[in-house]
A and B are shown apart, each in its own frame.
Chain A
Amino acid sequence: MRKQRLVALLSASALVTGIIVSIPVAANAAPACDGKSPIQSCVGVTSDGAPYSMMVPANFNGTVALYSHGYRYNIDIPAGIPLIGGYKVTNTPEPVPGGNAAVAQYFFSQGIAVMGSGFARQGWNPDSAIATNVELIGEFKAKFPTTTKVVAWGSSLGGVITQGLAEKYPNLISAAAPMCMADNIAPQLTGAGDFLWGLKVLFDPTIKGGNYSAGAAGNAEAYGDLVKVFTIMGKLQAALATGAWPDTSSATGKALAAGGVPSRSALLLLGLMAGLPTQSAHFDSIRGPEGPLKLTFPLALSPALAILENGTNAAALAVLATQDVELQAGGAIFDNTKTDYAARIDTERVIFNAALSGNTVIDALLGALSAANPGAPRAVGNATAIAKMNALHSNTGKINVPTILMTGVADPITPAGASQRVVNAYAEQFANEKLAAFAAYKTTRSYVAPVNKLLMLWNMTPSKGYTTFTDAGSPITTTPAASGTNHCNFTSAQLVLVAKTLVSAGLTGKLPSGGPIVSAGRKAGNLVVDKDFYAPLLKYYNQ
């Protein structure tokens, strides 16, 4: 997450919670409420020490929306680190996404309360966060006994927590909406590890990319990696047209450079094998500037630029989440000793052949990255640590309550494939429910049709393309990120649509279908309901 975005998010959150966080509350005590009207604010701390916030309108109708916030780094970031420097670990509660005023207004206007925990620990935390949320629901119901419905939603890691809550405690919530949901930790960190490993073995062998030390030493290693990764990205950007390699490149990288392999093609290949999208905030891989680059730009340059932009956005989380989970697991959790990167990009090498500079270059790169090349040593994970990581909470994708998923098709941090996995799992679940219903009919002679419990909203990128250029033909990167790109990049209208649908599903047990939701998605901005859209699963599932 970019510093600017993070600051914006925290500021917005403060708008909602700023008044209330100053009230001191003892751990696991009943929530302290200010008794104000029309919105009563309550704060408290669950037994694990996690602060929470509740906001209850005077016309409370019995429904409360529980929001789970996304990933926050669990170490402070020194000010000197590019893009994210100056971050301080915070457990400020976030009862609505990013403190979004339109969302809060919608809920309050309907008499719906909101609440959210800041969670006891930051970093990857579904195990503890789900437990925190269970306790928080109990606290709310105890304080507000007229509560009839709890609906849960969350973004990114908060999407994982929300889905986990729905899977483990369906009796506690009536509907769920995981947004820009991350996948389970192993698939997520496999993609991160692949990208960091590739940057290390080609562009800077001093990057650790994992297997960080414990304590302050590990923090320093992670900070060092952040600086190195951002430095490489800067050098690759500067050399995009020439294809020159960073001066920090490994011997393997320098050999490729000497063989005429452009660095942009190497970067693109790393992005493809890690599963990064080839459309980013400002690069659509469709448009080119007027003039001789009209075709060359989208064909040969734009995909690499998209990886550059997406890779830069994802790199910080890749480093810091790896370090965090390694600390939890007790050792290196990335292992690519058996990964077949050639198989990983079997389709993409054809589609992006021009940007990858042709089969000869692709084969040279894959040869350099192969396990047989001692110049690109593979990362060896710690089996015990990997087992511990795999024992952390995982979502199966089972749908127990009416569920709305929303995600950007070109989200570089939580790929759309994470939601696709749930869609796939539910397709199988629904088919089995149908079979069971038919089987039951044979004995009872009463057919009870299963009801659809999943709505998938895909936040698409603009189909006409969105890269813009100066009169001189340079791409413009100062405009807002296009829809469907960047991490959890949703408009207020999109969030409100999800909120409305969530509440409705919680009350009725039903999800909208057909024309109304298609039309609502379009009006909210580029949200598509298309049962046949298929986002690629994370590369972890295609080892």
Chain B
Amino acid sequence: MKALNRRKLISVSAVLAVASLTATAVPANAAEVGVSSSVIKLGMTLPMTGAASLGYNKIPGAAKAYFDYLNANGGVNGRKITLVVKDDRYVPTEAVARTNELILKDKVMALLAPLGTANVKAVASSVNPGRRGVPVLFVNTGFSGFADVKKYPTTFAILPSYIMEAKIMGQYIKENFAGKKIGLLYQDDDFGSDALAGFQTAGVNFAVKVPYAAGSQGAAAAAGWITKFKAAEADVVILFGVSSATSAMLGTAAVLKYAPQWMLGSVGGDATTIKLTGVPAGVLYNAIGFSPVPATTDMNDEYIKLFSDIYAKAVPGSVFDLNVLLGMNTAFMTAQALKAAGQNPTRKSLIAVLKTKGATLANSALTPVGYSANSHVGLTGYWIGKYSPAGDLLPVGGTYVTYTTDSGSGAVVKSTYKRPAMPAKGLPN
């Protein structure tokens, strides 16, 4: 036991107070994990290799492209951003191991854009970023539960929830396909549970619902799904699954000449990824799709123009698609949050700024972010589009009409959100 008399206690307090003042006066003297005088280190785990990586493995490159652009323009308050990327192959136990490495060995300040509901849940329960105070920014999953600040105090969603998406789909179905037989393909986990909840709230009655277990998707399985949709005489088939399920279904449908009205959920709706699997672009033509961010071909949009320019220089020859846009948007939002978190950002100040100012951070999405003290819900809506003959998702009627709702029983309404102008040169202000 160490005894400390009052005089010593006072002098220690005085030293601490002086140290505190000194730290405030000298911005470059940071003491947070992952933050040095010249660098802020962030970490990301994603499927970079293997069957589940297609499309998603472009996200880190896209984020790096933006961070490189940012660093070349002064970084955040003079600090460069470095991004450490680990391959989790979409396996939860591996995501846990790699995230542990990021936190304990690489000592990153924050985790960025982890992908997959199971992976994020596994990390939440085994690595405990919430307990450690490690920010988990902009998770790439629309599972509605991640908005729960009590269960996931440091995790922030970014994608609209699957419940919101299903509700907006349901509204569209009621307005455009009344009396038609509707079929649904969904992943038989929390991803699909959220979708079912949203469709139920929207009052959609399905002629047939076909679940598939994660990892079971493929051409053989797709042939079985088609048999079920055909038997139910489905006029409209909703594909609410991951890209590999959507691709398997569309590819097999093309071979079997099965052509209902397709409606694609946003998770599996990236045309570039689908086409990479050999699905002809024509199969996508007139399919209905949903997106919270502008069309990736919309060069009139200031974000798309800037991001696509940056990406083209950073990764020449790579298609600027939805995954790239989401990756760059994530990096862009992160930069702004770090800037807003103060001269010497800490994990605590970063989380605090997202709670208090996160909803006002500039970003490319056409619907607002819902962060507050009580909720970490991300974007809150979609615009509805159709795929062009080339496979590009374009807004129905040529202009974006966005719809917004919540993950509960709230109505689906047209959004009045006016996206703030992009900061000059796309740099945090």
> CB within 8 Å of B: which residues of A?
278-279, 284-286, 294-296, 298-300, 302-303, 347, 350-354, 357-361, 441, 445-451, 463-465, 528, 530, 532-534, 536
Q: Are B97 and A286 in contact (CB under 8 A)?
A: yes
20 pairs across A/B with beta carbons < 8 Å? A285-B93, A350-B117, A351-B118, A351-B125, A352-B118, A353-B118, A353-B189, A353-B190, A354-B213, A354-B214, A358-B188, A358-B189, A358-B214, A359-B193, A446-B6, A448-B3, A449-B4, A450-B1, A451-B1, A528-B104
B213 touches A358 (CB 8 A): yes
**Quick check: is B208 within 8 A (CB to CB) of the other chain?**
no
CA distance A533 to B5 in the complex (A): 35
Q: Is the CB of A463 within 8 A of B101?
A: yes
Between A and B, how many residue pairs show CB distances below 8 Å? 115
**A296 and B215 in contact (CB under 8 A), knowing A358-B188, A445-B6, A448-B2?**
yes
**B422 proximal to A (CB < 8 A):** no
Please tell me if the beta carbons of A350 and B118 are within 8 angstroms of each other in the complex.
yes
Most buried by B among A300, A350, A449, A450: A350
Find out whether the CB atom of B2 lies under 8 angstroms from the CB atom of A449: yes
Residues of B within 8 A of A298 (CB): 89, 91, 93-94
Q: Is the CB of A284 within 8 A of B189?
A: no
- A270 to chain B: closest CB distance in Å? 19
A358-B189, A446-B5, A463-B101 are known contacts; what are 18 more A-B pairs with Cβ within 8 Å? A285-B92, A294-B50, A303-B93, A351-B118, A354-B214, A354-B216, A359-B192, A361-B213, A441-B9, A447-B3, A447-B6, A448-B2, A449-B1, A449-B4, A451-B2, A463-B97, A463-B100, A465-B94
Question: B128 at the A/B interface (Cβ < 8 Å)?
Answer: yes
Chain A contacts of B401 at CB under 8 A? none
Q: Please name all residues of chain B whose beta carbon is closer than 8 Å to the beta carbon of A445 when the two chains form the complex.
A: 5-6
A295 and B5 contact, Cβ closer than 8 Å, known pairs A284-B93, A350-B121, A353-B189: no
- Asked if B359 CB lies within 8 Å of chain A CBs, one says no
* B51 within 8 Å of A (CB atoms): yes
Whole-angstrom distance between the alpha carbons of A347 and B117 in the complex? 11
Q: Do the beta carbons of A300 and B97 come within 8 Å of each other?
A: no
Contact of A295 among B4, B52, B131 (CB under 8 A): B52
| Interface presence of B240 (CB below 8 A) | no
Complex contacts, A353 vs chain B, CB 8 Å: 118, 188-190, 213-214
Distance of A354 Cα from B214 Cα, bound (Å): 5
Name B47's closest neighbour in chain A (CB-CB): A295
Q: For the complex, is B418 an interface residue (Cβ under 8 Å from A)?
A: no
User: Could you tell me the distance between the alpha carbons of A252 and B98 in the complex, rounded to whole angstroms?
Assistant: 40
Instruction: Tell me how far the C-beta of A296 lies from the nearest C-beta in chain B, rounded to whole angstroms.
Output: 6
Is the beta-carbon distance between A532 and B128 smaller than 8 angstroms? yes
A295 pairs with B89, CB closer than 8 A: yes
Question: Is there contact, CB below 8 Å, between B101 and A354?
Answer: no
| In the complex, chain B residues whose CB is within 8 Å of the CB of A299 | 90-91, 214-215
- Chain A residues, Cβ within 8 Å of B50: 294-295
Q: Is there contact, CB below 8 Å, between B9 and A447?
A: yes
A295 & B215 in contact (Cβ 8 Å cutoff)? yes
Please give the distance in Å from B147's CB to the nearest CB on chain A. Answer: 16
Instruction: Give the Cβ gap from B413 to chain A, nearest Cβ, in Å.
Output: 31
Chain B positions within 8 Å of A284 at CB level = 93
| CB <8 Å contact, A358 and B212 | yes
Chain B residue contacts of A358, Cβ below 8 A: 187-189, 211-214, 216
Most chain-A Cβ atoms within 10 A of its Cβ — which of B6, B91, B98, B189?
B91
B132 at the A interface (CB under 8 A): yes
Given the contacts A295-B215, A359-B192, A463-B101, A532 and B131 also touching, CB distance less than 8 Å = yes
Q: Is residue B122 within 8 Å, beta carbon to beta carbon, of the partner chain? A: yes
Q: From A359, A446, A532, A536, name the one whose CB has the most chain B CB atoms within 10 angstroms.
A: A359
- A residues near B92, Cβ cutoff 8 Å: 285, 351-352
Nearest CB on B from A471, distance (A):
20
- Could you give, for residues 67-106 of chain B, a 1 whenever the CB lies within 8 Å of some chain A CB and a 0 otherwise? 0000000000000000000000111111001101100100
Give CA–CA (A463, B9) in the complex, Å.
43
How distant is B178 from chain A, measured CB to nearest CB, in Å? 29
Instruction: Determine the chain A residues whose CB is within 8 A of the CB of B9 once the complex forms.
Output: 441, 447
Q: Collect the chain B residues with CB atoms within 8 Å of residue A296's CB.
A: 215
Nearest CB in chain A: distance from B131 CB, A: 6
In the assembled complex, the Cα of A448 lies from the Cα of B90 at a distance in Å of 50
